[in-house]
Amino acid sequence: MARYDFDLFVIGAGSGGVRASRMSAGYGARVAVAEQAALGGTCVNVGCIPKKLMVYASMFREEWEDAAGFGWTAPEPSHSFAQLIANKDKEIARLNGIYGRLLDQAGVTRLEGRARVVDAHRVAVGNESWSAEHILVATGGWPWMPAIPGIEHAITSNEAFHLTSLPERVLIVGGGYIAVEFAGIFHGLGAQVTQLYRGDLFLRGFDDDVRSTLAEMMRKGGIDLRFGVNPTSIEKASDGALRATLADGTRLEADAILYATGRAPRTAELGLEQAKVELGPSGQVAVDDYSRSSVPSIYAIGDVTDRVNLTPVAIHEGMCLAATLFGGKPTKVDHAHVPHAVFSQPPVAAVGLNEAGARATHGEIDIYRSRFRELKHTLSGRDQQAMMKLVVDPKTDRVLGAHMVGNYAGEIIQGVAVAIRCGATKAQFDATLGIHPTSAEEFVTMRTKA
């Protein structure tokens, strides 16, 4: 008779939790997964997928404006925000169903409800509890907002995906990728957008040339971008308008105020403290290279660990965990050379070290940088430029990082990431023939050091 009800009990059916569940079951483990909301977690329901769909929707206005330069004429387009949300919801429901079928086909037991850790080997869901040899916490993160007066009038990205109509004036607070992306979404759909960030320049952690170039392009596109400012209070007027007072006394009026000021690991009321699981200062589960917590039988992956908070990383961590526990192949998580993108307008993507990071770790480095008007805009007339950059170690000639602002940045950097992962040198980049005419060819034609 089995000692435990399950070999693995997973709390959270997001991207990481689902992948860990399926892979572990594929190795023959008895797996249960508990989820209190829709399957797929943040990415599927209020993150990557619906956000990218809304980015696509918001790009059509710019495409329509650019069409005149290519000889197209058409009446002013109209847009149904309600139809967009309805179509988005339909697609998300379809994906929820796919996730459920994948778990069922893998033989994973699905439980609905909020789970909590009772002890090192027991999990409760509602009034029932189950024992497990291993417990995996994959509960992700949750939007965080500061406790300023009137903050209850603001929304987060969670609610932004379910608005019933498009606000005419949107105030966005924050400087991370979520804030930047929603600024482009609302602006592209026709709203008047102001974005505030308390720091000197947004997208902290990205290369400085990327940050400054994107800020310039967003401003040229019509977004009111303000740095070094932060709201101190929000009030709702009798006519329904929202008024934000800034630290310098300035007052801004909007129909919606979106806070994208970060996400916190979702560990509250999970019972982790009672189980003696060590948590970090922001509530994240502290784990080792194998995603094991301070309690040997309890593991954690994804945003709840606050390591590299990206969907593909959570999936990678889930696969490593399954191989470690049930595949007979202990596998450390590898967070090196993780490519990442911001679906801003224009988009941003990068892989490897930025210039500041490379200087800190390698000392002397070579920089190759190109900024140019993309071919499309020679006829569209749009005042927008692309920027591409390579960071190179002169001692080994190895390319340490690649960065881009411009159309299709995410698609282009994905391929470049393979080369950097394989340790490609600048000479190998130079020896590679470009595809002409494309923006991507710039990565293999840059010859002059900046």
| Tens-place pLDDT, residues 377-408 | 999 999 999 999 999 999 999 999 999 999 99
- Same domain, yes or no, for 128 and 270? yes
CATH number at residue 439: 3.30.390.30
> 137 and 19, same structural domain?
yes
- Asked if 79 and 225 sit in the same domain, the reply is no
Q: Say what the pLDDT of residue 371 is.
A: 97
At position 58, the amino acid (one-letter code) is: S
Question: Are 26 and 119 in the same domain?
Answer: yes
Please check whether residue 91 lies inside any domain of the structure: yes
Report yes or no: 227 and 199 within 8 Å, Cβ to Cβ: yes
User: How many domains is the chain built from?
Assistant: 3
β-pairing verdict for 169-173 and 256-259: parallel
The residue type of 127 is N
Question: Are 12 and 137 contained in the same domain?
Answer: yes
**DSSP symbols for 229-278:** --EEEEEE-TTS-EEEEETTS-EEEESEEEE---EEE--TTSSTTTTT--
Structure tokens at 54: 């809304």
pLDDT of amino acid 415: 97
User: What pLDDT is stored for residue 1 in this prediction?
Assistant: 60
237-294 per-position pLDDT tens digit: 999 999 999 999 999 999 999 999 999 999 999 999 999 999 999 999 999 999 999 9
Say if 168 falls within a structural domain.
yes
Residue 337 resides in a domain: no
**What pTM, to 2 d.p., does this model score?**
0.96
User: Which residue among the candidates 153, 335, 337, 436 is catalytic per the annotation?
Assistant: 436
| Judgement on whether residues 294 and 388 belong to the same structural domain of the protein | no
In this structure, which long-range contacts are made by residues 212-216, counting pairs with CB atoms below 8 Å and at least 24 apart in sequence?
213/371, 213/385, 213/387, 213/405, 214/180, 214/342, 214/344, 214/346, 214/348, 214/405
- Asked if pLDDT for residue 2 goes beyond 90, the answer is no
| Average pLDDT, rounded, for the chain | 97
Same domain, 175 and 275: no
Structural domain ending residue among the three candidates 261, 286, 307: 261
The pLDDT of 360-368, averaged and rounded, is 98
For residue 70, being part of any structural domain is answered with yes
With respect to residue 430, please indicate whether it lies within any of the assigned structural domains.
yes
Which domain-ending residue is among 234, 261, 288? 261
Residue 279 sits in a domain whose CATH number is: 3.50.50.60
Same domain, yes or no: 293 and 357: no
Q: Per DSSP, what are the bridge partners of residue 173? A: 196, 259
- Neighbour count for residue 284 (Cβ, 10 Å): 21
Give me the percent of the chain exceeding a pLDDT of 90: 99
- Pair 166, 179: CB distance under 8 Å: no
Q: Is 362 a catalytic residue?
A: no
